[in-house]
């Protein structure tokens, strides 16, 4: 990684402003899932161990530039305090004279959490004056919010430039570093054979990704709603399956150029309604009659995918292979998750729903890497620049 990290700067006795991704699910005023808070602990503890004063900031939900009481950060501060075993003072804004005074008064080893950055419309607008106000709070800016790194907002991108203008450093935190290192290896230098698995709802979201992957991988296994458009391109009637007519010509071209490297399902689970309790059958992909829709890959496809994965050194998976949210159509996704969990290869799961499916199957810790940010991981894997990363100091 060609960016500076907190290990490259002296933080002792300094005030560190840390952008974390504490965009956690809340339920009845408490944190329902603290995975993202846990993921930020190594960076926070690293800074505290070195006598920094730690100022944390994050967005939470979509308050649309206004104060929304239910989206205040108080429950997050409470949970973080429990996890850290020390007090975490929650402030009621993220900029302004009172915040500046509170932050000036901090002692090394203290932790404060600023209020939801998205209470200000300037956050999403990446307003330079607002970013400068954030930067004025600290000596060092640390970005550990991988999940928000694909957004050029004031607390992720503008602040990094603003602190540099004031002579301060803008560096990556430990979580950010870990995410970029694992994903970077998969993008730049995957060990071959490199097999990619793609699923999810729509092909149009991911066409550039498919093209990218076909240039780099040895085999590309396609399932999920995405496969339907390929079936259509092959001239199959796909009944009432989700298909993107507009993308059929592209799918045709991809089928032609990829030859035997592109592997499609050989059987599919179809249902007579988009419903977990619908009647279901396993058929060949060219046997889907009208009134029926493809909701999962079939058992023969799992076997086909298993042989295609044989001997792989790197596996990259994005997109569920069926409508895994419905238990009766989750088996294909779960079976492939189990295959990956049993492999010696480097296994990387990109994308929000894919990561959720792997977690739901209880197999996340059997994978080499499951990124904390779905959207950010996908953009990175597609080869796009993450603006918040680009803004950090060069290493
Ligand atoms: P990710 O977030 O991992 O990148 P996507 O957002 O592209 O994945 O797609 C996830 C969605 O795709 C899931 O909600 C799943 O229900 C849906 N999906 C998968 N297979 C099908 C299918 N055959 N028909 C309709 N939707 C599907
Ligand atoms: Mg998604």
If pLDDT is split at 50, 70 and 90, which confidence band does 81 have? very high
Domains detected in the chain:
6-178 (3.40.50.1260), 190-381 (3.40.50.1260)
Instruction: Compute the distance from residue 368 Cα to the ligand 1 centre, in Å.
Output: 22
353 lines ligand 1 (CB under 6 A): yes
Ligand 1 atom with the shortest distance to the CA of 325: 16
Which listed ligand is nearest to 241 at the C-alpha? 1
Q: Is the pLDDT of residue 185 over 90?
A: no
Output the pLDDT for position 218: 96
* pLDDT interval class at 141 (50, 70, 90): very high
Q: Check residue 206 and give its pLDDT.
A: 85
What b/e sequence results for 155-168 when a residue is b if at least 16 CB atoms lie within 10 Å of its CB, and e otherwise? bbbbbbbbbbeeeb
2-6, 213-217, 351-355, 370-374 — which one is most confidently predicted on average? 2-6
- State the chain's mean pLDDT as an integer: 95
Give dist(CA 146, CA 20) in Å, integer: 8
> Which residues carry out catalysis?
36, 202, 352, 375
Q: What is the pLDDT of residue 63?
A: 98
CA-closest residue to ligand 1 atom 17: 201
CA of 107 to the centre of ligand 2 (A): 42
pLDDT at residue 304 in the model: 98
Minimal-distance CA residue to ligand 1 atom 5: 200
Strand partners, 38: none
Distance 352 CA to ligand 2 centre (A): 5
How do beta strands 219-222 and 169-172 pair? unpaired
C-alpha of residue 202 to centroid of ligand 1, in Å: 7
- What are the pLDDT digits (tens) for 316-335? 999 999 999 999 999 999 99
pLDDT above 90 coverage of the chain, percent: 89
Determine if ligand 1 sits within 6 Å of the CB of residue 298: no
Q: What is this structure's pTM? A: 0.86
- Residue 234 gets the label, from left (phi > 0), alpha (psi -120 to 50) or beta, of alpha
- Using 50, 70 and 90 to split pLDDT, how confident is the model at 373? confident
| DSSP-derived secondary structure for 295-344 | EEE-HHHHHHHHHHHTT-SEEEEES-SS-TTSGGG-HHHHHHHHHHHT-S
Considering every ligand atom, which ligand is closest to the CA of 326?
Answer: 1
Cβ of 223 closer than 6 Å to ligand 1, yes or no, is: no
Task: Inform me whether the pLDDT recorded for 297 exceeds 90.
Answer: yes
Write out pLDDT tens, residues 102-137.
999 999 999 999 999 999 999 999 999 999 999 999
Neighbours of ion ligand 2 (CB under 5 A): 352-353
Q: Can you state the percent helix, strand and coil of the chain, rounding each to 5?
A: 45, 15, 40
Res 205 pLDDT > 90:
no
pLDDT in tens, 88-101: 999 999 999 999 99
């Amino acid at each position: 990684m060609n960016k500076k990290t907190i290990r490259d700067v002296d933080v002792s006795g300094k005030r560190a402003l840390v952008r974390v991704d504490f965009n956690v699910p809340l339920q009845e005023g408490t944190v329902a899932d603290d995975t993202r808070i846990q993921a930020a602990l190594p960076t926070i503890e690293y800074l505290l161990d070195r006598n920094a004063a730690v100022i944390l900031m994050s967005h939470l939900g979509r308050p649309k530039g206004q104060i929304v009481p239910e989206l205040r950060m108080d429950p997050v501060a409470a949970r973080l305090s429990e996890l850290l075993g020390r007090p975490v003072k929650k402030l009621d804004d993220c900029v302004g004279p009172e915040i500046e005074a509170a932050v000036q008064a901090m002692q090394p080893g203290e932790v404060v959490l600023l209020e939801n950055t998205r209470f200000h419309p300037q956050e999403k607008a990446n307003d330079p004056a607002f970013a400068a106000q954030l930067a004025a709070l600290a000596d060092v800016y640390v970005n550990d919010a991988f999940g928000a790194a694909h957004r050029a907002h004031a607390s992720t991108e503008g602040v990094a430039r603003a602190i540099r203008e004031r002579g301060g450093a803008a560096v990556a935190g430990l979580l950010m570093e870990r995410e970029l290192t694992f994903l970077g290896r998969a993008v730049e230098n995957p060990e071959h054979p490199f097999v990619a698995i793609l699923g999810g709802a729509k092909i149009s979201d991911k066409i550039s990704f498919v093209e990218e992957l076909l240039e780099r991988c040895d085999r590309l296994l396609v399932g999920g709603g995405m496969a339907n458009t390929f079936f259509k391109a092959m001239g199959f009637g796909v009944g009432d399956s989700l298909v993107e007519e507009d993308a059929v010509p592209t799918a045709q071209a991809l089928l032609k150029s990829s030859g035997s490297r592109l592997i499609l399902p050989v059987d599919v689970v179809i249902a007579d309604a988009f419903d977990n309790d619908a009647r279901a059958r396993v058929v060949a992909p060219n046997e889907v009659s009208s009134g029926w829709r493809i909701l999962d890959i079939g058992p023969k496809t799992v076997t086909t995918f298993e042989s295609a994965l044989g001997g792989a050194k790197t596996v990259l998976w994005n997109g569920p292979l069926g409508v895994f949210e419905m238990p009766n159509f989750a088996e294909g996704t779960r079976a492939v998750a189990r295959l990956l969990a049993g492999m010696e290869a480097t296994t990387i799961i990109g994308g929000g729903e894919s990561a959720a499916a792997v977690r739901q199957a209880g197999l996340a810790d059997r994978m080499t890497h499951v990124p904390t940010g779905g959207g950010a991981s996908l953009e990175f894997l597609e080869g796009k620049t993450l603006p918040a990363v680009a803004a950090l100091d060069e290493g």
